Structure 1
Amino acid sequence: MAATRDRVRIVDTTVLSDDWYVLKKVTFDFLRRDGTWQRLSRETYDRGNGATILLRNAGTGDVLLTRQFRMPAFVSGHDGMLLEAAAGLLDDATPEARIRAEAEEETGYRVRGVRKVFEAFMSPGSVTEKLHFFVGEYDASLRTGDGGGVAEEGEDLEVVEMPLQAALDAVERGEIVDAKTIMLLQYVALRETAGARGMTPLLVLVAGPYRSGTDGDPARIAANLHRLEAAALAVYRCGHVPMIGEWVSLPLAVAAGSRQVGDEIGEAFLYPAAHRLLRRCDAVLRIDGASRGADADVSLARQLGKPVYFAIDEIPVAQDDSGS
């Protein structure tokens, strides 16, 4: 079967509306599986991509939602007042930067432990939007205001805090009918169910400075490696399996003929080995310190949809299977 781009020939695009967002009619020829071409027309509504986040209080287990009026739901026979997770359009920002700002604007809380969990097209039959889904934590110490959104933009949000189970019950009763919110609530519920059974240990890549900022000083390189290994030990104590890229790349470089840290042979192994390893890992722990290599690990992990943690207490504890 031909690649999708070879099966679609755009014939004409007509803008039907360009008021709030852009509605287009696209006429195209599509190569069917039987080898014949068929001319079709579809309308696409482009409102940009967005992000959403479910905020969870790690101490109480409560979730933080908003209640707001939605006209499309209202004209569909609903009362229009929807309970939702915080969300917003990207508007040229990165998904994480946008959702941090949007969550604080809507709920009045700064967010920590932000982690992307998946992304999805919400209505691919007609709407172009892809939504980036996050989870994060809040507590009373992170309160910055009352939330409620921006009145000048027509927002009038009520902040609603409730236990996770109450939110799940509200889904079953049909009181929460917003798809993105249901998806995030069910994601968290599934994770908790897995945790109750005993979370499977993760293979966690610890990423941070190794040679960065050392000017090649062996003592400073050793100090950086010690910090990486201390973080790896903390990961192990959480019940997971830690890995450091240098544990793989350094022995390989020596076997290939490297004679000192940072020589041409060593450099040829350092980043490629870490990136190959990352593809087999389940998550990344990024420790403090400037490092282009560690930043590249974080970027790749996010592209692959893997969790990225920035503090050891963000990593869920796995079941102790040591037998002790």
Structure 2
Amino acid sequence: MNPKIRIVNEELLSDNWYLLKKITYMTETTNGSWTSQSRESYDRGNGATILLYNRERQTVILTRQFRIPTYMNGNETGMMIEACAGLLDKESPEDSIRRETEEETGYRIANVQKIGEAYMSPGSVTEILHFFVAEYSSGMKVGEGGGIEEEQENIEVLEYPFQRTLEMIKTGEIKDAKTIMLLQYAQINRLLEPGLRQQQILIAGPYRSGTGDDPNLIRRNMDFMNEMALRIYEAGHLPVLGEWYALPLIEKAGSRTIGDEIFDRIFHPSSVRLLNHCDAVLRIGGPSLGADEMVRTALELGKIVYRDLQEIPPCNGV
């Protein structure tokens, strides 16, 4: 905690919907003295939002619903065009946004890519919003969406050409901050450009796991991962294997036995370093604690995780 901030008192003003508190606190000034201030803080939990996009159709999925605060502040209809979003409800951001996507839009998505997080109104609201993007297709539609009736949600699902949504920002038809941020992210990163951007894909699979350090079984695992790397290359992407990078370094550093101190010091950490520079991870093969750790780290870093080679869309190599 910040040693220059002291919370003096928290007064609950309302818990009718979420928590509204009056916080009295002391701050240390540059000359060492302390001053007292009071502010109101609204705690509604944290949330997640997502932009669904279709590169082939050049479209995005948005929603429209009534927002009473905007109606009270100049929005004549009270209707807002927004990206799908919702509160976390004690779930991880990834699980929450998958659930919200299906409830609100009717699309069941598997792979989501986290692109960042932000305090949306830090002067008064505690909420951190986690931002995601994901590709959608007609085959992912499993329902009509519209939200949860018990929660009195009445959400209209919209599909717009991407370029039109950028114009709607300029005309004021889209005024929701999270939606503007997601659409501008898609524009800046060229998510909808025809021809998928080439990805650098780290292959995560068993190297030693389940082999008992039998060199023949280890060689079999390497052959399988090299075969997958070739198929990724033929799909127009750049495959990366941690073993390609780590094993020569391990040998040069003087390792004599699989699993000795030098091996352990270099092998897995080298994959973590590579992961920071990759766009995605392909998890293949059987049980492997190291590969599973790569997947967990990739998700935390907002990388794409593929579970099957067929999930990787082909690229023209640009």
**Residue pair 2:60, 2:161 contacting (<8 A) in 1 also:** yes
**Residue pair 1:298, 1:308 contacting (<8 A) in 2 also:** no
Q: Percent identity?
A: 48
CA distance in 2, matches of 1:257, 1:14: 63
- The Cα of 1:11 is off from its aligned counterpart by 1.4
CA distance in 2, matches of 1:241, 1:143: 31
Task: Go from structure 1 to structure 2 and tell me whether the alpha carbon gap of 1:94 and 1:318 turns closer, same or farther (over 3 Å shift).
Answer: farther
Q: How many pairs were matched up?
A: 314
Instruction: Tell me which residue corresponds to 1:53.
Output: 50
- The Cα of 1:135 is off from its aligned counterpart by 0.8
Question: What secondary structure is seen at the aligned counterpart in 2 of 1:192?
Answer: coil
Q: How does 1:141-220 map to 2 (within 5 A)?
A: 141-192=139-190, 204-220=201-217
- The Cα of 1:319 is off from its aligned counterpart by 5.6
- The Cα of 1:251 is off from its aligned counterpart by 2.3
Instruction: Tell me which residue corresponds to 2:114.
Output: 116
Alignment of 1:285 onto 2:281:
yes
Give the AA of the match of 1:225. M
Q: In structure 2, list runs of 5 or more residues that go unmatched.
A: none
C-alpha deviations, 1:150-187, integer Å up to 9, x for none? Answer: 11101011111111011111111111111111111111
Of 92, 97, 106, the residue aligned with 1:94 is: 92
Alignment of 1:270 onto 2:259:
no
**Residue pair 2:113, 2:302 contacting (<8 A) in 1 also:** no
Question: What secondary structure is seen at the aligned counterpart in 1 of 2:26?
Answer: strand
Give the aligned CA root-mean-square deviation in angstroms.
Answer: 2.7
CA distance in 1, matches of 2:202, 2:30: 43
TM-score by length of structure 1 reads 0.86
Task: Go from structure 1 to structure 2 and tell me whether the alpha carbon gap of 1:42 and 1:33 turns closer, same or farther (over 3 Å shift).
Answer: same
Task: Go from structure 1 to structure 2 and tell me whether the alpha carbon gap of 1:316 and 1:18 turns closer, same or farther (over 3 Å shift).
Answer: farther
Task: Go from structure 1 to structure 2 and tell me whether the alpha carbon gap of 1:211 and 1:188 turns closer, same or farther (over 3 Å shift).
Answer: same
Instruction: Tell me which residue corresponds to 2:129.
Output: 131
Of 78, 83, 86, the residue aligned with 1:85 is: 83
Q: In structure 1, list runs of 5 or more residues that go unmatched.
A: none
TM-score by length of structure 2 reads 0.87
CA distance in 1, matches of 2:218, 2:37: 61
C-alpha deviations, 1:178-204, integer Å up to 9, x for none? Answer: 1111111111111228968x96x6654
C-alpha deviations, 1:276-311, integer Å up to 9, x for none? Answer: 3334x14232323443222322333444x4422316
